[in-house]
Structure 1
Amino acid sequence: MAAPDISVRAVRTELPGPPVGNAALARRFGMGEAWQSWVDTFVGTANRHYAVDLETGEVRCTLADLGARVGAEALAAAGVEPGEVDLIVLGTASPDELMPATVNVIADRIGVDGVPSFQLQSGCTGAVQALMVAQQALLAGTARTALVLGGDVSYKHLDPTADISGALPAQLVNLVLFGDGMGAAVLSAGAEPGGVLLRRLLLRLSGLGRPPGQTVAWYGASRRADGPAASEDYKAIEDSVPDMAAETMHELLGQVNWKADDLAYLLPPQLSGRMTARIVERMAVTGPQELSCVGEIGNNGNGLLFFQLERLLERIAPGERALAVAIEASKWIRGGLALERV
């Protein structure tokens, strides 16, 4: 007996505040033209969006604020009322508080209640993890309609008044890579007319015996911060992520019995503009159209996959296929999904 179809009915995204370009970032933190040139050339990310005003330090919005807005927009786009949602899931590395879970605050604000809720703490594959939780519930028949959210706000690790003139490269990389943003998708069991079907979802922990590529600390009141809040082994990421992305792509293609030539669109991992170009080169597929956005909006973690999916749903035609890959460096997780409009 064939597994039931799962439809991606709508995807919506939200960015807080105006774009912050590299020149503005350099001016705000007192960095010179050489630093800005390094960002432009070696990082390749032109803009990012922050939930905090860099000039005043005023917080514009929280993760829950973004989630409530984008969740309501996704439901409206899918023609789904809050009372029709059977499951809500959030993937994030930066919840607003340890408790209450941000997913439950979002649910309350958009009028979802009486259903299972899950909040998954993870980096860039948290969106895939959230989609997998929804997928399993829909396949099992315990839910008919799921609202899946993913996003991050990094402003809690950003001090607009900090003197970073002596900062280490690993800390400077985090400053220019990351921004804030969020996305939401509505998934339903069954094939919707004109809908995009989620054909396969892959998730693999691949960090056995490997040190973390990224660390984000969470200090409680009784623990003193004895190091940077966030650090990144960018060299390890440069060396490992392209190969992991290619491995994930081929494994996923094998699972759905597709060839790379069958793909109309490729949604590659989004770390930075320059890094994404290296990843796509290593994946070595020339037919599909690449859907990337990190160079324009910055790396907003679990939100990025939704920004790519939103673009995909606007473009993909009947009969076309797409494959998305996400790689998380914190403890090395590979994820991806195969989609088709039938």
Structure 2
Amino acid sequence: MSQQDVHILSAASALPGPAVDNAALARRFGMDALWEQWVEAFIGTRSRHLALDLESGRLTGTLADLAEEAGRKALKAAALAPGDIDAVVLGTATPDRLMPATVNVVADRLGIDQVRSFQLQSGCSGAVQALDVARQLVLGGAARRVLALGGDVIARFYDVTRDLRRADPAELVNFVLFGDAAGAAVVSAEPGPGSAAVRALFTRLVGLGREPGAVLEWFGPADRDSDRPAATEDYKAIEEHVPRMTEEVLHELLTDTGWRPEDVGLLLPPQLSGRMTRLISDRLALPAARDVSVVDDAGNCGNAIVFLQLEQALAELGAGERALGVSIESSKWLKAGFALEGSAR
């Protein structure tokens, strides 16, 4: 075992409320059955969880609520107390407020104090960025155990009174792609029962000169009446670039680890939509890998999605079994990946 390994002791997730299927969305936004069939065929996501009451438009939970729940579960699964944690890192695109930072609210609720804390503003690759910061803290000796968190509440950008029949496709797609969730993982200098060693991990900005593929606006008092949509997605650009970027990440991870494609037992692919996930997995063609995918039922829940995948992967990863994970962020084009190897149970 390398002296440079760090270990993921546990992973956990929190989803708000019951699942909201495509039929429920269609009823709320006045869309017909053909729209529901289009979502099933071309998006491939069956349901998602929302921190929102669709009828009233009232938020029913916050990112801090979800991250607190996920953090508690991860600590319990790792058999750790709040005082055992040396640092807390949160990746999110949708903090509850600009200040105080949501990471500090969550730490306070969990009873974690007198530690380093970091909040990373990023799209879905922020989950891997949070794991990267946690890993570097452990490798540098600044921490023995770090609680890494990720999550988003996209529903706060929903306008439930909107007539989606008049919406631009770049805006419409967000109503079916995304869900709300949070996740957590404990990163440690020492292994534990059922843990996984991190054999490789990287995140990289690759968007030089490239237009954003996703935009999430912030409105203050001066521009709150702007007619700009709060969230847009260039789905065609994403369909063009994400599969190729995923292949690049996979090849880099295999090179870094020295693994062969047939050595990989689990694949944690990007989770934009059910349809795209399946297309990407088929394109990668890892001969022995089982997919760890949650997007069909949880939707694309941003910075939570990698943690939802990790929770499932740790439960399946046998001793010595190998897993590769890929996350691609389209906002300004980032690619991220990690390689895990199962420890003895």
Alignment TM-score > 0.5, same fold: yes
The residue that corresponds to 2:319 in the other structure is 318
Q: Secondary structure at the match of 1:142?
A: coil
Query: 2:32 is matched with which residue?
Result: 32
- Match of 2:267? 266
Please say which of residues 17-26 and 56-65 is displaced more in the overlay. 56-65
Match of 2:114 in 1: 114
1:296 alignment counterpart? 297
- The 2-side partners of 1:259 and 1:336 are apart by 16
Residue 95 of structure 2 is aligned to residue 95 of structure 1: yes
After TM superposition, list the pairs within 5 Å mapping 1:163-312 onto structure 2: 163-223=163-223, 224-312=225-313
Q: Which amino acid aligns with 1:6?
A: V
Q: RMSD in angstroms over aligned alpha carbons? A: 1.2
* TM-superposed deviation, 1:6: 1.0
* 2:9/2:193 contact within 8 Å kept: no
**Contact 1:153 1:179 (C-alpha < 8 Å) held by counterparts:** yes
The answer to whether structure 1 residue 331 and structure 2 residue 332 are counterparts is yes
Which segments of 5 or more consecutive residues in structure 1 lack a partner in the other structure? Answer: none
- Report the equivalent of 2:149: 149
Could you tell me how far 1:57 is from its partner in structure 2? 2.2
More displaced stretch, 212-221 vs 223-232 = 223-232
Structure 1 residue 3 displacement after superposition: 3.6
Q: Is the 8 A contact 2:8 2:191 kept in 1?
A: no
Q: Which amino acid aligns with 1:335?
A: A
Measured in 1, the distance between the counterparts of 2:137 and 2:177 equals 34
- Mapped to 2, the partners of 1:68 and 1:192 lie a distance apart of 23
Q: Report the Cα offset of residue 49 of structure 1.
A: 0.5
Q: What is the aligned partner in structure 2 of residue 8 from structure 1?
A: 8
In the TM superposition, residue 27 of structure 1 has moved relative to its aligned partner by 0.4
Task: Give the distance between the partners of 1:250 and 1:225, measured in 2 at CA.
Answer: 43
The CA deviation at 1:158 is 0.4
Shift in alpha-carbon separation, 1:14–1:194, aligned structure 2, 3 A: closer
SS at match of 1:324: strand
Q: 1:97 is matched by which residue type in structure 2? A: R
Equivalent position amino acid for 2:53 in 1? D
Measured against aligned partners, the alpha-carbon deviations of 1:19-52 in whole angstroms (never above 9, x if no partner) come to: 0100110000000111111101000000011001
Q: How does 1:15-164 map to 2 (within 5 A)?
A: 15-164=15-164
> Secondary structure in 2 aligned to 1:120?
strand
TM-score by length of 2: 0.97
Contact preservation (8 Å) 1:5, 1:191:
no
- How far apart are the structure 2 equivalents of 1:252 and 1:51? 35
Q: 8 Å contact 1:205–1:333 — kept in the other structure?
A: yes
Deviates more, 1:185-194 or 1:148-157: 185-194
Structure 1 position 191, deviation (Å): 2.7
Report the Cα offset of residue 275 of structure 1: 0.8
Asked if structure 2 preserves the Cα contact closer than 8 Å seen for 1:4 and 1:190, the reply is no
The residue identity in structure 1 corresponding to 2:330 is A
Cα displacement (A) at 1:114: 0.5
Cα drift, residue 286 of structure 1: 2.7
1-side partners of 2:195 and 2:74: how far apart?
A: 14
Q: Secondary structure at the match of 2:287?
A: coil
CA distance in 2, matches of 1:275, 1:37: 17
Deviation of 1:190 after TM superposition, in Å, equals: 2.2
Render the CA deviation track for 1:47-78: whole Å, top value 9, x for unaligned: 01100110122321100011111111111111
Alpha-carbon offset, residue 192 of structure 1: 2.6
Give the letter aligned to residue 314 of structure 1: A
Alpha-carbon shift at residue 194 of structure 1 (Å): 4.0
Q: Secondary structure at the match of 1:165?
A: helix
Contact 1:149–1:183 (8 Å) recurs in 2: yes
Q: Which letter maps to 2:300?
A: N
Distance 1:264 1:112 in 2: 36
CA distance in 1, matches of 2:14, 2:337: 22
User: SS state of the match for residue 295, structure 1?
Assistant: helix
User: Secondary structure at the residue paired with 2:173?
Assistant: helix
**What CA distance in whole angstroms lies between the structure 2 residues aligned with 1:144 and 1:134?**
10
CA distance in 1 between counterparts of 2:172 and 2:131 reads: 32
Provide the C-alpha distance between the structure 2 equivalents of 1:178 and 1:194, rounded to a whole number of angstroms. Answer: 31
For 1:285 and 1:246, locate their aligned partners in 2 and report how far apart those are by CA, in whole Å.
11
What count of residue pairs does the alignment treat as equivalent?
Answer: 342
Structure 1 length as normaliser, TM-score?
0.98
Cα contact 2:12–2:185 (8 A) shared by 1:
yes
Larger deviation: 20-29 or 222-231?
222-231
**Comparing 232-241 with 3-12, which one deviates more in the overlay?**
3-12
Contact preservation (8 Å) 1:74, 1:185: yes
* Aligned amino acid, residue 149 of structure 1: L
* Alpha carbons 1:125, 1:327 under 8 Å: kept: yes
Shift of residue 163 of structure 1? 1.8
52-61 or 331-340: which moved more? 52-61
